[in-house]
Amino acid sequence: MGTSVQVTPLSGAYGESPLCYLLAVDGFRFLLDCGWSDLCDPSQLEPLAKVAPTIDAVLLSHPDMMHLGALPYAMKHLGLSAPVYATEPVFRLGLLTMYDHFLSRWQVSDFDLFTLDDVDSAFQNVVRLKYSQNHLLRDKGEGIVIAPHVAGHLLGGTVWKITKDGEDVIYAVDFNHRKETHLNGTVLTSFVRPAVLITDAYNALNNQGYKRKQDQNFVDALLKVLASGGSVLLPVDTAGRVLELLLILDEYWGQRNLKYPIHFLTNVSTSTIDFVKSFLEWMNDSISKEFEQNRDNPFLLKNVSLIINKEELEKLGDAPKVVLASMASLEVGFSHDIFVEMANDTKNLVLFTEKGQFGTLARMLQVDPPPKAVKVTVSKRIPLVGDELKAYEEEQERIKKEESLKASRIKEEELKASHGLNAKASDPMTIDGSSSRKSSNAGSHFGANVDILIDGFVPPSTSVAPMFPFFENTAEWDDFGEVINPDDYMMKQEEMDYSMMHGSGDGLDGKIDEGSARLLLDSTPSKVVSNEMTVQVRCSLAYMDFEGRSDGRSVKSVIAHVAPLKLVLVHGSAEATEHLKMHCAKNSDLHVYAPQVEETIDVTSDLCAYKVQLSEKLMSNIISKKLGEHEIAWLDAEVGKEDEKLILLPPSSPPPPHKSVLVGDLKLADFKQFLENKGWQVEFAGGALRCGEYITVRKIGDSIQKGGAGSQQLVIEGPLCEDYYKIRELLYSQFYLL
Amino acid sequence: MASVAAALRSVGKRAAPGGDREDGDRMVITPLGAGNEVGRSCVHMSYRGRAVLFDCGVHPGYSGVAALPYFDEIDPAAVDVLLVTHFHLDHAAALPYFLEKTAFKGRVFMTHATKAIYQLLLLDYVRVSKASVDDMLFDEQDIHRSMDRIETVDFHQAVEVNGIRFWCYAAGHVLGAAMFAVDIAGARVLYTGDYSREEDRHLPAAETPPFSPDVCVIESTYGIQQHQPRDVRERRFTEIVSSTVSQGGRVLIPAYALGRAQELLLILDEYWSNHPELHKIPIYYASALAKRCMAVYQTHMSSMNENIRNKFGCSSNPFNFKHVESLNSIDSFHDVGPSVVMASPGGLQSGLSRQLFDRWCEDGKNACVIPGYVVAGTLAKTIINEPREVTLANGLTAPLNMQVHYISFSAHADFPQTSAFLGEIRPPNIVLVHGEANEMARLKQRLVSQFDGTNTNVVSPKNCQSVEMFFRSEKMAKAVGSLAEKVPNVGDSVSGLLLTTKGFTYQVMDPDELRVYTRAQLSSANITQRISVPYSGSFEVVRYRLNQIYESVEESAVEESDVPALVVHQRVTVRQDSETSVTLQWSSDPISDMVSDSVVAAILNISRKGPKGVRAEEAARTKEETERMAHKVVHALMVSLFGDVKAGQEGELVISVDGDVAHLDGKSGDVECENAALKERIETAFRRIQGAVRPIPLSAS
């Protein structure tokens, strides 16, 4: 039997909620993505919470909130502890996305769902892979191979191929078949008839125009607003689609020599671009070629200024400008603040480049017609002053005192306990000696005795003779003087490494921009003040699709091309999912599933397979015919066993004659050409090929179904005449007879 | 997994193909360069009709065609894949020549960083050698054209070309250096290129592949030498530099523009940062090429080690040196007071490093630090031995008072590394390349004793000397689809299509599912033929005639529109469609075609001659008579095959050949014979004779 495969959506099925799926392959449980919406609502993660501790591996596909946002929270609070697999850019940019998200939240609320440390520790056990790298899983997952492949959409975006016993399960969400300014199109179409394809129906109902035209419209829309003295806000993600926008803008500004400033404002913008600059090999071919030949890095971004706090933006005043600010949902963060400022002015434009997440401010503004006014909460973190500060300090003081009191109490108890032991041993001096020796072994007297020094005289109740510790200098001497340990004078490798690492602040894996770090490390007591207000939406609002996902038509053709045996649809509105489901079920013979959240479906393939060895003796008797990259032959063999393995041997008794098989793939159009070259009068008539006067060749049945199984059915008919046999001969010549 | 079947043998010339073994199982590895020498690395490997070339370098010691590897030993057109490990000239510089001037039409792969630096390095190489060499191997245009043909591969990324699967591991050595693993039909070869298992400031240590290759082609540059620990070397280096400059001397570091130079700059830059008192002393880096390559170093951080990546993550790019200035030419160099200058070339043959050397060599305060492997015949090699006098570039002799230090930062594996590496991956076959003959011989000896008793072969072929290995690979097939619904037991028979893809993967399947497993590239077909034959007589006559000729004529099971229909031998359906014609319909295959032809002939005979009287004898001809006839034919044919054949009782035939007697049952075909070989032959013969006597098998029987 085939490999058993079960899929359970934990979120993101029949709806546009974040992506998170459970995939079990022969009992090995993969978590496919671990997304969270910008709202960060823990109740969304309930299905995940139930299964998190049982997960064996996590595969991440894209570096944005919808695909990996819940990872730190799940690691911290839900007991998720499995190794995480991702490509290098997904890891880096994902980390930055989480930093940015945290900082945006933390600036306006007492955000406590996860901290930066949680983000760091969650990303610590990410195993980083390269595209097309076959990674063999060990232990429980023995025999499973995972490999990331290019997905398009976001930098490092991944289509995961999970292979067990030659059967492929492919997880491909948010892929893009189109080559973009900075990314290659997906390689999904190169996969050979996988057992299971898990894909999304997100864009099943959308169709896009031409990219070039779309880019032009986009830039035109911006320029129109800028020329009339308005500013443009593009709410974007932290390190995903924004890269494509930046490139389009930077290139266009460069070509036209435009002077309007472009600002890229996120908490981590400078480091984002720094990392992206070193990810050229993950981008499209023309970018890497350009770099190889001329060392031009498109992400040097000559026309974009990277800023990490709003003050710099405020300095510019009201001059026309383009601002790309993070948090596409406008929930919190820079985009939110700027929106509130800009919404009031009719000259301004807020241009959405992706569909807003469900239930967010961005989504509210994308409805048609847009609302006249929206209610927002404006929050700010301000330092404490006056009484509040005093109260805070007192509180801190109190906490500190309590802690130290507690600590000293614990120490006292420990001391008592140890002295209790001493008392039992009845000779405190010896004990002292041993402990001092121990500490000198450890290389430092100070560490061991620090308690006593600090605590001073805490008269141990049980001790007979309280005294300062005394350590005898036990230096050894030989003929050459004091014996030295050469190790003490060696510069150790670790020390070297330490000195190399010195000043690099090794705690954080990625870096936070200085400004943000200041903000974060700033220990000034602060609090959050917020007030609700209503914002009149007078500015223009627009939506242009720069999501970089394949549109409905392409998704359908990609699915038809890949022709999986079983198709699982997730992540798409109910209508989109149903639409795609109907479409696929109607047009091909594949099995389509669209599970609900927490519904487990079994997509174990009914294809069977077993492995056999081909004996030399058998193979020497087989004559294959070559057809392109394949060779085919008829095989008659008998099964034998050798070292527990099945082996095919030549048959011991003559095999029964088999039905002869014609092999080849005939296209009527090709055949027509072939006959014409031979000098026949050939024409298509009513779907059939009319050869000469009387003979017709037709194809029936399966020919329409591209991925369909079974063999081709051809009919040749005509009256008894010489031509009939000639045509038949030519038709046979198109096939191999076995 | 393939297993090595035979011992390795090394032959002077390539053995004639064929031989005692199947040619397909023979792997031949031939160094076209770097066999018992350092330089022009190029190793050719062929197996199962596929050919791979590893590296394509020139020999720095020669010029023109003499510097090339021995390409005429191979057929460049037959090479499928060329894999270049790193950008050094002795590994990559013959590539434009090979691509543009030979019949090679395969694909070329290298890592991203290698490709980026390759172009710069070769352009520089062409520019420099133009001045001195007349017969240039290639020009700038060739290099630019070669860039279009080079494809890039990332570390660990698996690529398949024409059945050759390969991927690469980080090799240390220089930025982008890779070791390639190639898998052809289960036989795995690891080609290390130049590698170093020691992590340094910016490069990772060479990875250890997590599998044991069948063959390991490994460098042997340092033979059985052992490096000093890195920290000791670094400390010596920084001490020499700082003490020299603090005494007012100048330090010259002749180094190749790329590779070690970056490492040394990282060391110096850091040392300067930690020692503010040195800040006023300038460090110059005199190489326009290296300056151009800096962008590559600043970009390909992902090919470097964790340490530098973390540094990058926390502060600005470490390759933005704070204390190093670049120097374009000696004219812009103000030689006042102490300074540290790193200049190329590393061998002090010519150029800036030589100019500075000539200027500084007489002053005892100055120092020259030689930081890597020096090629024999260069001035750098000469001064390591600290002669009293040296010859300057202008031909004059001058006393050598300058301090000369040799501190090797060369990122090649030394013996402990090589031995540990081989100990971990345990290849059954080791091929040594890239090392001087003496070093290589010593290394070979040490390795042979290290792996004594483990059935490991170590060879060190000279250039053009082939190493042959035989692998008996098990051919594993996968039975798929409906054919594989249940796993068969011993003795069951399996029949189906055997599909071989790209020469190595075998699948057994039902013919109808061919389309599924070849992604609609191939498919089985059924051709239904329908032919109408003019006939205006009664259908009953047709029925009668056919009944007489064929053993099986039945009424059609599927009645359509009340037209009478007959099925002959369950293959051909004969139906009277109209008053003037009958239609024959059948599904194409050789036997059915034959049956249909005879049916057509029979029907035509009826209409041509009109109804003919049926002779009584014919009608009375019994089945037994047919049997008798058949038996007679069998007998006659057996006699012609085996000679002494006697008819026994009840249709039995007694055949005697060379004293062996066999009894053949004329009906069932059973043979009784003590000689198994004879038995088999008689069975086969009988089967074929039966096939001729009764060409149309009765499917019912």
Secondary structure, 3-state, B492-513: CEEEEEEEEECCCEEEEECHHH
Contact residues for B587 (Cβ-Cβ < 8 A; gap 6+): B526, B527, B528, B529, B571
Alpha carbon distance A548, A550 (integer Å) = 7
> Both tokens of residue B222?
């340092």
* CB-CB neighbours of B313 under 10 Å: 20
Q: How many CB atoms lie within 10 A of CB B161?
A: 16
pLDDT band at B8 (very low <50, low <70, confident <90, very high): very low
What average pLDDT does this structure show over B349-364? 86
Q: Is B496 on the interface with A (CB under 8 A)?
A: yes
* Best CA proximity match to B349, nearest among B368, B376, B385: B376
Instruction: Render pLDDT for B452-481 as a digit per residue (tens, 0 to 9).
Output: 888 889 999 999 999 998 887 667 787 877
Q: What are phi and psi of A438, to 5 degrees?
A: -60, -45
Chain A segment 460-499 residues within 8 A of B by beta carbon are 491, 493, 496-497, 499
Residue A349: strand, helix, or coil: strand
Domain topology for B528-608: TATA-Binding Protein (3.30.310)
CB atoms within 10 A of CB A51: 17
Query: H or E segment at A625?
Result: strand A625-627
Disruptive mutation site among A590, A612, A647, A724 for chain B (greatest number of B CBs within 10 Å) = A612
Give the best residue of B531, B572, B586, B605 to mutate against chain A (max A CB count within 10 A). Answer: B531
The average pLDDT across B25-30 equals 90
Contact A173, A198 (CB under 8 A): yes
Cβ A233 vs Cβ A321: under 8 Å = no
Could you give the angle at which helices A722-733 and A668-677 cross, rounded to 10 degrees?
120
Identify whether the C-beta of residue B457 lies closer than 8 Å to the C-beta of residue B7.
Answer: yes
Q: Give the Cα separation of A229 and A399 in Å (integer).
A: 54
| Cβ pair B186, B1 in contact under 8 A | yes
Chain A positions touching B1 (Cβ under 8 A) are none
Taking CA–CA distances from B533, the nearest residue in chain A reads A720
Strands B324-326 and B283-286: parallel
Among the listed residues B38, B34, B52, B77, the one whose alpha carbon sits nearest the alpha carbon of residue B190: B52
Separation of first and last alpha carbons in chain B: 45
Structure-model confidence comparison of residues B486 and B175, the more confident one: B175
How far B381 CA sits from the closest chain A CA (Å)? 31
List helix spans (H) across A78-190: 88-108, 116-124
| Active-site entry in B412, B434, B569, B635 | B412
pLDDT: is A456 or B363 the higher one?
B363
Query: A649 or B37, which is more confident?
Result: B37
pLDDT score for B658:
80
CA A522/CA A609 separation, integer angstroms = 63
Nearest CA in chain A to B499: A632
Question: Residue A505 CB: number of other CB atoms within 10 A?
Answer: 14
B176: number of Cβ within 10 Å = 27
* A33 conformational bin, left if phi > 0, alpha if psi -120 to 50, beta if neither: left
**Count of beta carbons in the 10 Å neighbourhood of residue A182:** 22
Chain A from 106 to 165: CB within 8 A of any B CB: 129-134, 136, 147
Span A371-411, pLDDT tens digits:
888 888 888 777 777 788 888 888 888 888 888 888 888 87
Distant-in-sequence, close-in-space partners of A96: CB < 8 Å, separation ≥ 6: A63, A238, A239, A268, A271, A272, A275, A510
Q: Is B190 on the interface with A (CB under 8 A)?
A: no
Start-end of CATH 3.60.15.10 domains in chain B:
24-225+412-467
Residue entry with tokens 């004329």? B666
Q: Is the pLDDT of residue A423 over 70?
A: no
Q: What is the mean pLDDT of chain A?
A: 81
The pLDDT value given to residue A376: 85
Does B495 contact A631 at a Cβ distance shorter than 8 Å?
A: no
User: What b/e readout covers A374-404, taking b as 16+ CB neighbours within 10 angstroms?
Assistant: bebeebebeeeeeeeeeeeeeeeeeeeeeee
Query: What pLDDT sits at residue B17?
Result: 38
**Both structure tokens of B25:** 């199982």
Contact B370/B404 with Cβ under 8 angstroms?
yes
Q: What is the pLDDT of residues A577-600, one digit of tens each?
A: 999 988 888 877 678 999 999 999
- Give the global pTM: 0.77
Residues of chain A in contact with residue B482, where contact means CB-CB under 8 angstroms, are 608
Contact yes or no for A19/A173 (Cβ under 8 A):
yes
Report CA A540 to chain centroid distance, whole Å.
Answer: 34
**Multiple choice CATH, B230-406, 3.40.50.10890, 3.40.50.300, 3.40.50.2000, 3.30.70.260:** 3.40.50.10890
Question: Average pLDDT in the B481-510 region?
Answer: 77
User: Scanning every residue of chain B, which has its alpha carbon at the shortest distance from the alpha carbon of A496?
Assistant: B231
Taking only Cα atoms into account, the Rg of chain B, rounded to an integer number of angstroms, comes to 39
Chain B environment of A279 (Cβ under 8 Å) = 302
Indicate whether A505 pLDDT > 50.
Answer: no
Tell me the residues of chain B between 244 and 263 that have a Cβ less than 8 Å away from chain A: none
What are the φ/ψ torsions at residue B467 (nearest 5 degrees)? -110, 125
CB neighbours (10 Å) of residue B48?
20
Contact B524 A711 (CB under 8 A): yes
Q: Do A639 and B493 touch (CB under 8 A)?
A: yes
Rounded Cα distance, B290 and B343, in Å: 10
Distance, in Å, from the CA atom of A370 to the CA atom of A541, rounded to the nearest integer, reads: 8
What pLDDT score does B444 carry? Answer: 93
- Among this protein's residues, is B412 annotated catalytic? yes
Domains plus CATH for chain A?
5-107+116-207+545-602 (3.60.15.10), 211-384+525-543 (3.40.50.10890), 613-649 (no CATH), 662-737 (no CATH)
Q: Where in chain B is the domain with CATH 3.40.50.10890?
A: 230-406
Under a CB-based contact definition with an 8 Å cutoff, are residues B583 and B600 in contact? no
Q: Enumerate the residues of chain B whose CB falls inside 8 A of the CB of residue A88.
A: 302
Element (H, E) at B284: strand B283-286
Per DSSP, the three-state class of A186 is coil
Is the pLDDT at B611 greater than 70? The verdict is: no
Return all residues near B420 (Cβ < 8 A) that are at least 6 apart.
B197
CB contact under 8 A, B526 and A713: yes
Nearest to B523 among A291, A499, A665 (CB): A665
Decide if pLDDT at A510 tops 70: no
Pick from A647, A659, A631: nearest CA to B499: A631
Q: How far apart are CA A198 and CA A61, in angstroms?
A: 13
Q: What is the pLDDT of residue A502?
A: 44
C-beta of residue B683 within 8 angstroms of C-beta of residue A655? no
Is the Cβ of A647 closer than 8 Å to some Cβ of chain B? no
Query: How many CB atoms sit inside 10 A of residue A76's CB?
Result: 17
pLDDT value, residue A618: 79
DSSP B74: S
ipTM of this complex prediction, to 2 decimal places: 0.74
Question: What is the DSSP secondary-structure string of B292-314?
Answer: HHHHHHHH-GGGS-HHHHHHHHH
Q: Could you read off the pLDDT of A442-479 as tens digits, one per residue?
A: 444 444 444 444 444 555 555 555 566 666 666 677 77
- Among the partner-chain residues A130, A632, A663, the one whose CB lies closest to the CB of B157 is A130
Map tokens 């100055």 to a residue.
B366
Give the CA distances from residue A226 to residues A220, A236, B381, in Å, rounded to whole numbers and listed in that order.
Answer: 10, 19, 67
Residues of A in contact with B524 (CB under 8 A): 661-663, 711-712
Among A90-99, A137-146, B15-24, B230-239, the least confident range:
B15-24
Average pLDDT score over residue span A34-61: 91
Angstrom distance (rounded) from CA B139 to CA B122: 9
Contact call for A281 and B683, based on CB within 8 A: no
Nearest CA-CA partner of A581 in A570, A572, A592: A592
Q: What digits encode the pLDDT tens for the residues A181-232?
A: 889 999 988 887 788 999 999 888 888 778 788 888 899 999 999 999 889 9
Phi, psi for A317 (deg, rounded to 5): 65, -145
Architecture of domain B24-225+412-467: 4-Layer Sandwich (3.60)
Q: What average pLDDT does the segment B631-650 reach?
A: 81
| B536: chain A residues, CB-CB within 8 Å | none
Between CA B576 and CA B589, with CA B694 as vertex, the angle to 5 degrees is 55
A646 part of contact set with chain B, CB < 8 Å: yes
Contact B564, B537 (CB under 8 A): no
More confident residue, B288 or A286: A286
Flag if B157 and A499 touch (Cβ within 8 Å). no
Cβ of residue B522 closer than 8 Å to a chain A Cβ: yes
- CA neighbours closer than 13 Å in the CB half-sphere of residue B355: 12
* CATH code 3.30.310 region(s) in chain B: 528-608
Q: Work out the average pLDDT over B314-323.
A: 77
DSSP string, A640-686: EEETTEEEEE--SSPPPPPPP-EE----HHHHHHHHHHTT--EEEET
Res A528 pLDDT > 50 = yes
B479 shares contact with chain A (CB less than 8 Å):
yes
Q: Structure tokens of B53?
A: 């070339």
Phi, psi dihedrals of residue A168, rounded to the nearest 5° = -105, 135
| Separation of alpha carbons B371 and B404, rounded Å | 11
Report yes or no: A268 and A238 within 8 Å, Cβ to Cβ. yes
Q: Which residue has the higher pLDDT, A203 or A499?
A: A203
Chain B residues inside the 8 Å CB shell of A184: none
Residue A350's DSSP bridge partners are A233, A541
Residue-level pLDDT at B612:
52
